[in-house]
Amino acid sequence: MTRKDQGWANSLFGGCLGGGSGSGKVRPKPRKPRQQQASSSPGSSSAMQRLSVTDVMSTASEQELSVSLVGSNLHVFTVGELKAATQGFLDGNFLGEGGFGPVYKGNVADKAKPGLKAQPIAVKLWDPEGAQGHKEWLSEVIFLGQLRHPNLVKLIGYCCEDEHRLLVYEYMAKGSLENHLFKKFPPMLSWSTRLNIAVGAAKGLVFLHDAEKPVIYRDFKTSNILLDPEYKAKLSDFGLAKDGPEGDETHVSTRVMGTHGYAAPEYILTGHLTAKSDVYSFGVVLLEILSGRRAVDKTRPSREQHLVEHMRSWLKDPQKLNRVMDPSLEGQYSTTAAHKAAMVAYRCLSGNPKNRPDMCQVVEDLEPLLNITDDVPNEPVAHVSPPKEDNVAKKERAARRRTDDNLGGNRRQNKTRSPQKIVRRRPGQSEEFWVWHMPGEVKA
């Protein structure tokens, strides 16, 4: 980090040093704006190199570091302003909840902030009892304060007032991909819409991986893919994102954190994080898009609870494609395109990270499939249903479920990769956020 960059970063540390809302001390003294990394083309770079989380953390102790405003276009809000925007965080404005805390819809009036037009917003509040905290909040500000891309959600601003930590985003009208796939939000996602979402999300990862200072997303999953009114995909929630390896480095060593079912196996075993860790997670999400089933579903029979274990071998076999595809599609998809997409998922889910494609290759493989429509049937095609179980089979399956319940639903796990602490799961969450504790681990 250059002396010039250090001086600039230090000038951004301030605010949140006490004083109530409207104290006027939240925002640092203005400086000449730093050029943003604003190109929509993957791999493009700004005139000045992006400041990394490591750069910011090295400039001051964590106790002294109250806020880092990276990017002159971020607006600083007070708690009072965001309460007004969300009608006092009204229950009717509740959008959902994740590891950081609850999210509410709000509206900002025209000229509420200089340069900010009237628009709907999404406000994320920090829950002190949740899985994430100030460090994750800071990561979000640092990454999304600098990174701009059509497939990344836009961070409008933030609030850092006393113990409060809030984030303000553009409002994504169609919610998360998770809600549409698994909570059956109408209308059902068509094949072309699913494929467009997959391509858009993949382009977001390409931009992060190919940046001048690479970024590893680390928490790629359906609940972090948000959809705009046209169902365009944008990646959200950068609280677990990490600066990727540079130069001769092959990986980043970090504490293993993530959502059960999405983390790459080698990352769980070693704590070594690479871009190929994100590729594996993308493979899981692509399989969820194809199948309409969750990565982990404890309501299914034990052998079907882990989607990758259950279906990966089917992805390369065209004869088993009908077992993979979501029955709610009713056959309304191109079998040619679906099989090619399944093969992309198969390669992304390889146990050996060296055999996984990079995200550029994934986009190259998936994008042409958007134009394959020649074998899409005109009429709904009945999905092949498994044969009905007889009474004996039903009783055996019920007995297996009771056994699983008595054992707590636990499967035998390798001790080196067993999550020893599961961060609590709140009612608004549909996924389990896991922290793996490993010998000699490095803090995130």
Domain boundary among 140, 170, 200: 170
Which CA distances in Å does 317 have to 192, 279, 324, 340, 366?
22, 21, 10, 11, 18
Which active-site residues does the annotation give?
A: 219
CB 356, CB 279: distance < 8 Å: yes
Shared domain for 88 and 126, answered yes or no, is: yes
Shared domain for 146 and 240, answered yes or no, is: no
The per-residue pLDDT for 241 is: 83
Full-model pTM: 0.74
- Return the H-helix or E-strand segment holding 195: helix 191-209
Domain of 430 in residue numbering reads as 177-436
Shared domain for 275 and 351, answered yes or no, is: yes
Residue 407 lies in a domain: yes
Q: How many helices (H) and strands (E) does the chain have?
A: 13, 15
Residue 17 lies in a domain: no
Residue 26 lies in a domain: no
Shared domain for 154 and 229, answered yes or no, is: no
- Residue by residue, pLDDT tens for the chain (444 residues) are 444 444 333 333 333 433 333 333 333 333 333 333 444 444 443 445 565 555 555 544 333 333 444 445 788 899 999 999 999 999 999 998 876 788 999 999 887 888 889 999 999 888 766 556 667 777 778 777 788 899 999 999 888 888 888 899 999 999 999 999 998 777 889 999 999 999 999 999 999 999 888 899 989 999 999 999 999 999 998 878 887 777 666 666 677 777 889 999 999 998 889 999 999 999 999 999 999 999 999 999 999 999 999 999 999 999 999 999 999 999 999 999 999 999 999 999 999 999 999 999 999 999 999 998 867 665 444 344 444 444 544 555 455 445 444 434 443 344 334 343 334 444 445 555 454 444 344 444
The per-residue pLDDT for 288 is: 98
The per-residue pLDDT for 259 is: 84
Residue 32 lies in a domain: no
Shared domain for 147 and 244, answered yes or no, is: no
Shared domain for 234 and 336, answered yes or no, is: yes
Domain count, the chain: 2
Shared domain for 364 and 264, answered yes or no, is: yes
Shared domain for 155 and 200, answered yes or no, is: no
Letter for the amino acid at 302?
S
CB 160, CB 69: distance < 8 Å: no
Residue 352 lies in a domain: yes
CATH number, domain at 302? 1.10.510.10
CA torsion sign for 163, 62, 123, 294 is negative
The per-residue pLDDT for 401 is: 46
Instruction: Say how far apart CA 325 and CA 175 lie, in whole Å.
Output: 23
Shared domain for 145 and 223, answered yes or no, is: no
Domain boundary among 170, 197, 229: 170
Shared domain for 197 and 103, answered yes or no, is: no
Residue 136 lies in a domain: yes
Residue 383 lies in a domain: yes
Shared domain for 402 and 295, answered yes or no, is: yes
The per-residue pLDDT for 237 is: 84
CB 295, CB 219: distance < 8 Å: no
Nearest of 264, 269, 209 to residue 241 by alpha carbon: 209
Cis peptide before 187 (omega within 30 of 0): yes
Domain boundary among 115, 150, 170: 170
Shared domain for 232 and 273, answered yes or no, is: yes
Instruction: Say how far apart CA 68 and CA 237 lie, in whole Å.
Output: 17
